Structure 1
């Protein structure tokens, strides 16, 4: 009779029975009279215990190597002396499904860059890395739940473009049947076209490409973006309200499903944010920071990373909140399609969202009037001809709208207290990394 698989986390329910477990060899302790193997699957670890008897099982266990994929059938025994779950698996048959070469190319002391070279082993061997992707799944599920509940339509927009998106900078160029094509650095133009198509609330979770030669802990050349666009808004406040409620819902879902595990594996107490999040204008942020002595050379309109961390710390001291919306960025550093208030065209009705000092989102009300878009593009020195397909969407009754783009990896970085976005992706892509 074929034994059905039992996960290690469920072995307590099978004490006294014979079960089959699939997994990897985590560690070996081959003593003079006893052989101990720590076996691991994606739910936990169990000790396999065998007394040497010069039989075939002894030889099989002796030949095992760490990370070999194995199938072990045996009896589950209650063993209080075993620190690992108080259980033992006494083997009856062992099948090596795929032996692992020795020695392994990484261990617990291996640095990040070399770990990334062997990412499949890195993720397999570290429960924290496995947990990260479970958290990511729950986080995305929570964001989708909220978006669906608000009547949003999930879209899948092209990642190949015939013209460079937005400013035309920081895009990857590639050949396309004798022509030039570009990888989309944002679904921005496409989701605005969806608004013009009469789809009132749009969201997408998908890849984004940025040809930035940045080597910081928070930049990647390919990452997962969460993009939202909302029609018929009264103002940018509608967009910020959507995001803060979406994040609060998704974070609450993560806390409920994984809060204890996050505390154990990452040492982070995940706090579910209350809404609304604090808001502060860029001008107010500059005033607060300069009173504290912040005035970095060359930074007059935006905030540098130190400024973002400082303003977040100030807001947390003042309000107890980990999130803050920075609003009304200068028009000079925002895209041409960001709306500008009639009473102050030097700024935009836009925002960034900071979480614990890290920018995780950029958003704005978009300019939906064709003539104003042409004017603002000209001010930026942009040729409207390559933008004709995009601009046509605003010639035939496009409604007022706004939206946001959120970096999933950055959210996971802050949520789990990671030092680098490299650990927040399965296979990281940066200026110096295109493999594996």
Structure 2
């Protein structure tokens, strides 16, 4: 008789029945009189208990190795002495679907870099990491749901470009039928083309490539970006309002679905933020920081990571809020396509969003006037010809618009209190890592 598979979390519903459990051998306790095997699937652990009788079942259990993929068919019985849900499985058949080699290449003492070498095992063996990807799924669904509810259209823009975007820095060059192509470091230009195409609200969740030789805990050479662009805006404030509400909605979904599990596995309480988030200009932020003793040589227009953490801590104390928008970044450190306010052409209508001191977003109102774009590109030393297709989008009635780009991995880092973006990614890519 063939028994359908039952997940470990559902076993109590099958008390007294014979079922099949599919999973991996977690641990083995092979005693003189009894054999105990913990089997793990994606929903939990169950103890398989067998009294030795010299039969073929005993031999099969003795031959098991940790992490072997197995199907065990047996009767679900009450066992109050078992901590794992007060149940155990009394086996009738044991099928080894794929034996695991021994010894395993990683264990509980293995360092993070070696764990990344064996990421599939690392994820499989640690429930907290599997929870991370469940949280990521819910977070993405929440972001999408909010964007859809606001009438936004989801786009899928090219990741291959014929010319290097913006200044040409931080892009990967790849061979393309005898000539060079470049991996997109942002869907920015394509989002703006969609706005020019008459699509009022655009968003995309997709891969982003940055050829940055950065070895920090928050950088990756390939990551998932969450990008939004909004047409017919009157002010950059509309973009910030859209983002804060989008994040609040998605985080509320995570808290509702995974809040208890996150507290158990990560020791973090998911707090749903209230809106609006605090806003502070870059000039105001630097003034506050310098009054507190922050003065970094070589950091004139921007904030270094220490400055971002310090201003976030200051605003947390002043407002009780973990999120903060830093606005009006100087022209010198922003791209040519950021719009400049009429009252102060030395700054841009742009922002970064910090969460607990980590930058998770950059956004701005875009310059939509063709002649002004040409002037601002020339100021940055950029020629019009390499960006002809992009600039053409502004020659025929492109409306005022603005948007933002958010790093999904960084959001997960802060949400779950992770030490590195490596932990918030399934298969991390950095300057020294292209495998597995």
TM (norm. structure 1) is 1.00
Query: Which residues of 2 match residues 9-408 of structure 1 at below 5 A?
Result: 9-408=9-408
Return the offset for 1:14: 1.2
In the other structure, the counterpart of 2:3 is 3
Q: How far, CA to CA, are the matches of 2:280 and 2:417 in structure 1?
A: 25
Return the offset for 1:140: 0.3
Q: Does 1:419 align with 2:419?
A: yes
Q: How far, CA to CA, are the matches of 1:78 and 1:15 in structure 2?
A: 7
CA offsets per residue over residues 317-368 of structure 1, 9 Å max, x none?
0111000000000000000000001121100000000000000000000000
List structure 1 runs of 4+ shifted beyond 4 angstroms.
none
Return the offset for 1:41: 0.2
Return the offset for 1:85: 1.4
Ranges in structure 2 where 5+ consecutive residues have no aligned partner: none
SS in structure 2 opposite 1:89? strand
Q: How far, CA to CA, are the matches of 1:252 and 1:343 in structure 2?
A: 38
Q: How far, CA to CA, are the matches of 2:166 and 2:43 in structure 1?
A: 45
Return the offset for 1:167: 2.0
Q: How far, CA to CA, are the matches of 2:335 and 2:77 in structure 1?
A: 65
SS in structure 2 opposite 1:10? helix
Q: How far, CA to CA, are the matches of 2:204 and 2:313 in structure 1?
A: 31
SS in structure 2 opposite 1:71? strand
CA offsets per residue over residues 290-314 of structure 1, 9 Å max, x none?
0100001111110000000001100
Q: How far, CA to CA, are the matches of 1:58 and 1:241 in structure 2?
A: 64
Q: How far, CA to CA, are the matches of 1:222 and 1:214 in structure 2?
A: 12
Q: How far, CA to CA, are the matches of 2:270 and 2:166 in structure 1?
A: 35
Deviates more, 1:78-87 or 1:248-257: 78-87
SS in structure 2 opposite 1:261? helix
Q: How far, CA to CA, are the matches of 2:72 and 2:175 in structure 1?
A: 51
Measured on the aligned residues, the alpha-carbon RMSD in Å equals 0.5
Q: How far, CA to CA, are the matches of 1:332 and 1:374 in structure 2?
A: 16
Aligned length: 436
Ranges in structure 1 where 5+ consecutive residues have no aligned partner: none
